[in-house]
Amino acid sequence: MQNLFSVRWKNWSVITCMMMALHWGFWPALSEAGHEFDEIIDTIKPDRVKSLLQAGEQIMLVDLRSAKEFRERRLPGARSLPVTDLEKRFNEIPKGGRVVLYCGCEPGGADESYSYLYLREKGYRNVSVMEGGFADWLKRSYPVETGPKK
């Protein structure tokens, strides 16, 4: 009987040690799997963007919306770079100076998140996303440009 108890105890001890090793050894790796872009997206408020523009600061505004939407209305001085063209044209964005991305999607939308993370992956450290996007800019009745870009 005692022999049977010690065999079961040894098995229990081995199982417990294995479970602890799995939990502490592999769990962190499993919980991080597929999350290489777990990064906080740097954002900037529309009123800050407006004050930077009014102060004459050099800022590149990148409009991620379609070219048609861009022609209709856009932030003053913005440049059109639709999210669908980003992978082909990202090198048009300078790696120096301030760059602000905006789109017409919902706050925290896929277009701006994807674009931000894609540019970060390409080595850009000067990029932020305008909170609320173009809709929030319009809601605040901030200035816009219309028509074809000159």
**pLDDT tens-digit map of 26-84:** 434 333 334 344 568 999 999 999 999 999 999 999 999 999 999 999 999 999 999 99
Helix (H) or strand (E) holding 98: strand 98-102
The two beta strands, 79-80 and 43-44, are unpaired
pLDDT at residue 92, as a whole number: 96
Sheet holding 43-44, edge to edge: 43-44, 127-130, 98-102, 59-63, 79-80
Torsional sign, CA 17, 23, 29, 30: positive
Percentage above 90 pLDDT, the chain: 64
Confidence band of 110 (pLDDT split at 50, 70, 90):
confident
Which phi and psi angles does 147 have, rounded to 5°? 80, 180
Mean pLDDT (the chain, rounded)? 80
